[in-house]
Structure 1
Amino acid sequence: MYKKPGFEPSRNEMFSILENNIKPMLEDETISVATSLGRICAEDVYAKNTLPNKPVSARDGIAVHFSDFSKGTPDTSEWSEGKEYCFSNTGVAIREDYDTVITIENVKFDKSGKVRLLSVPEKCGEGVGVEGGQVKEGELLAYTGERISPSLIGILLTGGVANIKVLSKPKVAFIPTGDELVPSGFEIPLGKNAESNSLMLKAYINECGGEAILYPIIPDEFEKLKEAVLSAIEIADLVLICAGSSKGSKDFTIDILESVGNVIVYELGHGPGKHCSLAYSGNTPIIGLPGPPTGADLTAALYVKNTLRLIQMQPIQLPYRIIAMLAEDINGRKIDFVSFMRVFIKDGQYYAKPVELQGKTRAEVYHLQNGQFYLEKGSSIKAGTLISVEMRYPREYITEA
């Protein structure tokens, strides 16, 4: 149903298409839990240990016999260490003949060493960490598809798990195309342009737990481009081909994708990045990205990152939102459009102002905008309306007007 060239999905429709077509990868590897931060569990993980393996003191204090309190507060003037009580430290196993712990703040000693209690336990076992209170052998510690966090690393190690099976890092091939491009970092001849999308996409891929395979710039020649795509399909879990996606005389991306596989989406129903496509060759998804850096950046953030999340059993994710009052009218276009917004604070209220793109460099726009707003085609919204803005930065970075 998505194949016809006339279908141009909105952002939400594109997310739905990705969810219906991108399959989780099956390859896995075993690594040390100590190095597993951010990786995805490939199977359920169960505890090998029971800890504590004996009752322990849950606090610094003295261990006592609860039976001594059966008639209320006992006379402690003749108590001696090692008989009626003993010192007990947090996490340390208590002697088997004691069953309750009184926190040290509720214990006083006079000059002769006699003990005085400021409070008494209300029940047997108070202040004692029970066997298995931290982790139980056979307990499910981590789930298939769960991302490993610093806290989970601690839980796994406590449970006696030293090595863990995780999803292999998805290999992502990126193919830049264009006769006008030269590698970034070198002097740019007149009439040429720096190819910056490769390293930008590599950063996105690394951020999402993938492994980037960067191809050299491929000229706008059908056979060379097709050869590069076929090569990438053989080695990668996801292929990205950048540029050549519009309707110029040397824009071959769609023709190539049709020749090597099945095109699902020919182009999007929103901008920037309208000329973004999705195809499959066998089981390998191929995303065609627009060449202009702004469009490539936006579609990578929306669709490449979320494709990698789906490949790794993670749900599609959008930035958090802030409700802000629109500071200026905003008018729709013939297609849906992602408008860059500047969110600021004035008199304790969040405001959002559209960033004017005309006459501004890419860097100027980047530093002006801290959020974005998806405006449906033909829509117009008046200043003073509350809108939901998707933010690039945490709210702590929003400044006063």
Structure 2
Amino acid sequence: MDFFQCIPLREAQAIIVKELSGAVVASERVPLVDALGRVAAEAISAAENLPPFSRSTVDGFAVRSADTFGASEAAPSLFSVVGEVLMGESTDIELRPGQAAVIPTGGMVPVGADAVVMLEYAEQPDHHTLLIAKMIAPGENVVLKGEDIASGSPIVQGGQTITPARIGLLAANGVTHAQVRKAVEVAIISTGDELVEIDGPVRAGQIRDVNSYALGALFTEWGCRVTRMGIVRDSYEKFYGALAQAVEACDMVVISGGSSVGARDFTVKAIDGLGAPGVLFHGIAIKPGKPTIFGMVKGKPVFGLPGHPVAAMTVSEQLVKPAVRLLSGRQKPLERRVVQASLSRNVASSPGRDDFVGVRLTHEAGRYTATPIFGKSGLIRWMAESDGVMHIPADKSGVYEGESVPVLLLGDAD
């Protein structure tokens, strides 16, 4: 195929979705405490009702709601107090018309009662007499048996991320272990004779290996397990060997550098050499990140990202993140954290190309203002100083000062 023929960003995303459709990592059974953030590999249903009995949500008196109809401060309803529900214990109290029982928050609602009156609406002239000065609706201040989760109903669906709230639901139903998808194993290969490790000396003409750490942190934040394969020098044989090893060991491979058309870049040749279908596209109409490569080897995705840190991270957000979600088996479509902001100045763009521009956000009088941060894609500070990224679609030739633009939030920006 003729490489470096740029395709639209949406077409690139569609190719990745098509190739990874149904390609989900294996599952494993883990203790509930280790399931947080993982993706459920199967539906988990409730084995019992939650709550297992009807319970009060307040301290007060269990009553038959019909006995309070017409009650007011001027004409309170009269009840006989026939007992007390104890916390953590079953009760055999059965209320008849005109009867009430003392009940604590969380206490079991007696048979015959269908509501609980809060203490502030009740008055006890003596231990056996109760006056209620408010009408109570059926079910008021009561959680019915199975109202939270009914026995047999799903607690977690396959493909859902297990959140802290779902951990609570599972714990409440006595679930101690969950079948979840394994973390996506991602191998990162750094390429280039100019690269050195971050803890070594840097001589003239050399730079530290920024991308394997920045990208590794990004993928870890997405729930991946990252393996840094180290720096591979500009030798086809060494690169091919490293790539073959990474494909065998991991679910996805990300190559930092080696995606341009330079004579010493071996990515395309190596990906194709490892097996069909090989490289599926080389070049996307995007800035930064134009020379991006994507291919499939032995059913595993391989990305060749630009060596410039900002370009590599921009492409990762647009292409690698959706791939990670597909491999993880996540059911919910990707939802990006986006805010609308008023642009502080004009920004030009080239039609036919999706541009991504870092911005600083300020929030005043209930609205956001986005100030573009201009810089070359090799400047890692560009990303570090950005609160978000403004997307200029391919069908626009730029955006104007004061125009409302969508801004993708980065990290903890709020």
Report whether the alignment pairs 1:293 with 2:309: yes
Q: Counterparts of 1:8-87 in structure 2 under 5 Å?
A: 8-23=6-21, 24-65=23-64, 76=78, 81=83, 84-87=99-102
**Contact in 1 for aligned 2:191/2:234 (Cα 8 Å):** yes
**Contact in 1 for aligned 2:347/2:399 (Cα 8 Å):** yes
**Aligned with 1:209 (options 213, 223, 238):** 223
Could you tell me which residue of structure 2 aligns to residue 304 of structure 1? 320
Distance 1:347 1:78 in 2: 57
Could you tell me which residue of structure 2 aligns to residue 324 of structure 1? 342
Residues 45-69 of structure 1 show CA distances to partners (whole Å, capped at 9, x for unaligned) of 1111223333322322112356766
In structure 2, the CA distance between the partners of 1:6 and 1:202, relative to structure 1 (3 Å rule), is closer
Could you tell me which residue of structure 2 aligns to residue 399 of structure 1? none
Distance 2:374 2:183 in 1: 39
Distance 1:183 1:229 in 2: 19
- Shifted more, 334-343 versus 8-17: the winner is 334-343
- Shifted more, 267-276 versus 174-183: the winner is 267-276
Distance 1:247 1:360 in 2: 17
Report whether the alignment pairs 1:168 with 2:168: no
Could you tell me which residue of structure 2 aligns to residue 102 of structure 1? 117
**Contact in 1 for aligned 2:388/2:413 (Cα 8 Å):** no
**Contact in 1 for aligned 2:349/2:355 (Cα 8 Å):** no
**Contact in 2 for aligned 1:322/1:391 (Cα 8 Å):** no
Residues 145-168 of structure 1 show CA distances to partners (whole Å, capped at 9, x for unaligned) of 001111111111222222110001
- Shifted more, 317-326 versus 276-285: the winner is 317-326
- Pairwise CA RMSD of aligned residues? 3.1
**Aligned with 1:185 (options 192, 199, 204):** 199
Distance 1:355 1:134 in 2: 49
Offset, 1:244: 1.6
SS at match of 2:111: coil
**Aligned with 1:5 (options 3, 6, 14):** 3
How many residues are paired up? 393
Structure 2, unmatched stretches of 5+, are: 85-94
Letter in 1 for 2:107: V
Could you tell me which residue of structure 1 aligns to residue 359 of structure 2? 341
Could you tell me which residue of structure 2 aligns to residue 90 of structure 1? 105
In structure 2, the CA distance between the partners of 1:128 and 1:299, relative to structure 1 (3 Å rule), is closer
- Shifted more, 281-290 versus 252-261: the winner is 252-261
Distance 1:238 1:46 in 2: 32
In structure 2, the CA distance between the partners of 1:182 and 1:33, relative to structure 1 (3 Å rule), is same
Q: Counterparts of 1:254-269 in structure 2 under 5 Å?
A: 254-261=268-275, 262-269=278-285
Letter in 2 for 1:387: V
- Shifted more, 22-31 versus 68-77: the winner is 68-77
SS at match of 1:216: strand
**Contact in 2 for aligned 1:337/1:375 (Cα 8 Å):** yes
In structure 2, the CA distance between the partners of 1:368 and 1:21, relative to structure 1 (3 Å rule), is closer
**Aligned with 1:130 (options 144, 164, 178):** 144
TM-score normalized with structure 1 length? 0.87
TM-score normalized with structure 2 length? 0.84
Distance 1:377 1:77 in 2: 73
Residues 300-355 of structure 1 show CA distances to partners (whole Å, capped at 9, x for unaligned) of 22222221011112334444131424522424278443223344457765443432
Offset, 1:32: 1.7
Letter in 2 for 1:31: V
Report whether the alignment pairs 1:118 with 2:133: yes
Report whether the alignment pairs 1:222 with 2:228: no
Could you tell me which residue of structure 1 aligns to residue 91 of structure 2? none
Offset, 1:127: 4.0
SS at match of 1:217: strand
**Contact in 2 for aligned 1:355/1:369 (Cα 8 Å):** no
In structure 2, the CA distance between the partners of 1:240 and 1:395, relative to structure 1 (3 Å rule), is closer
In structure 2, the CA distance between the partners of 1:134 and 1:206, relative to structure 1 (3 Å rule), is same
Letter in 2 for 1:140: P
In structure 2, the CA distance between the partners of 1:59 and 1:348, relative to structure 1 (3 Å rule), is closer
Residues 283-316 of structure 1 show CA distances to partners (whole Å, capped at 9, x for unaligned) of 1111111112221121122222221011112334
**Contact in 2 for aligned 1:41/1:148 (Cα 8 Å):** yes
Letter in 1 for 2:155: L
Letter in 1 for 2:60: G
SS at match of 2:179: strand
In structure 2, the CA distance between the partners of 1:112 and 1:385, relative to structure 1 (3 Å rule), is closer
Letter in 1 for 2:161: R
Distance 1:95 1:350 in 2: 54
In structure 2, the CA distance between the partners of 1:384 and 1:101, relative to structure 1 (3 Å rule), is closer
- Shifted more, 141-150 versus 24-33: the winner is 24-33
SS at match of 2:188: strand
In structure 2, the CA distance between the partners of 1:230 and 1:218, relative to structure 1 (3 Å rule), is same
Distance 2:379 2:209 in 1: 17
